[in-house]
């Protein structure tokens, strides 16, 4: 089951490609106005990011809505070796979505990387999960991923921006008891809490609000 009043993947103007008005204060106000109960800020982070303290402090200053739970987090890129592009001092203390943002063009590299990310104790969620266009996973490989996700307690994101994971993957994850949650992957205000693009995925896993 997923909760349509929770959005676990929202970006901010701390990156250079979100809408300029998508600052933390405006996101909190908008989320509250549409009745969300949980809002997770998950800005793109790199190991060299120098804005993290300001970002964390700003979220804390805006945590004033009693009916809205704020979560401070990051979206970290899964690197070629399976590590994540986030300093351990941040990944250990905050909510972390691990996602692919590079096409490696090699199934073996991709598989090894996703397995490492799933086993990483600092990773909470696997974001917008899907195979690269050059390959697919056979049933044995998909089952292995399901087992790893379940064993390591990882949540799989139903991502509204990219309409992922694929439907057959979601069915297999559900069969193996993998948990899901919703992420808009919002880069503008009106995308926060907007899950209409993934209605089929939401209906498949079940929803409450």
pLDDT (tens digit, 9 = 90+) per residue, 152-199?
A: 999 999 999 999 999 999 999 999 999 999 999 999 999 999 999 999
Residue 16 has pLDDT above 80, yes or no: no
What residues have CB less than 8 Å from 50, skipping those under 6 apart?
none
pLDDT > 70: what percent of the chain? 100
Please give the Cα distance from 148 to 117 (Å, whole number).
10
Query: Average of pLDDT values for 112-140?
Result: 97
Query: Average of pLDDT values for 87-94?
Result: 97
Superfamily designation of domain 2-203: Metal-dependent hydrolases (3.20.20.140)
Residue whose C-alpha is closest to residue 77's, from 112, 44, 122: 44
What residues have CB less than 8 Å from 17, skipping those under 6 apart?
187
Give this prediction's pTM.
0.97
Contact predicate 96/125, CB 8 Å: yes
Q: How many CB atoms lie within 10 A of CB 158?
A: 26
Break the chain into its structural domains and give their ranges: 2-203
Q: Label residue 1 by pLDDT band (50, 70, 90).
A: very high
Q: Label residue 30 by pLDDT band (50, 70, 90).
A: very high
Residue 17 has pLDDT above 90, yes or no: no
Please give the Cα distance from 19 to 12 (Å, whole number).
8
pLDDT tens profile 45-70: 999 999 999 999 999 999 998 899 99
The reported pLDDT for the residue numbered 161 is 97
Task: Give CA separation, 100 vs 75, 130, 169, 192, in Å.
Answer: 10, 9, 16, 21
Residue 90 is inside which H or E element, if any?
Answer: helix 88-91
Burial class (CB in 10 A: 0-12, 13-18, 19+), 48: exposed
């Amino acid at each position: 089951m997923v909760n349509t009043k929770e959005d676990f993947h929202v970006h901010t103007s701390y990156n250079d490609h979100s809408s300029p008005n998508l600052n933390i204060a405006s996101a909190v106000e908008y989320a509250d106005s549409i009745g969300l109960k949980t809002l997770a800020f998950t800005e793109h982070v790199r190991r060299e990011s120098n804005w993290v303290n300001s970002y964390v402090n700003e979220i804390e200053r805006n945590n004033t809505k009693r009916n809205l739970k704020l979560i401070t987090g990051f979206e970290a890129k899964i690197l070629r070796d399976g590590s994540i592009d986030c300093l351990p001092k941040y990944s250990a203390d905050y909510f972390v979505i691990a996602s692919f943002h590079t096409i490696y063009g090699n199934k073996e590299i991709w598989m090894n990387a996703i397995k490492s990310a799933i086993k990483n104790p600092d990773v909470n969620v696997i974001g917008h999960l899907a195979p690269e266009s050059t390959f697919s996973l056979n049933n044995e490989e998909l089952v292995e991923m399901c087992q790893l996700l379940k064993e390591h307690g990882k949540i799989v994101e139903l991502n509204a921006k990219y309409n992922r994971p694929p439907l057959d993957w979601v069915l297999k994850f559900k069969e193996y008891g993998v948990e899901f949650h919703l992420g808009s992957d919002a880069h503008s205000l009106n995308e926060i809490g907007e899950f209409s693009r993934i209605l089929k995925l939401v209906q498949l896993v079940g929803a409450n609000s």
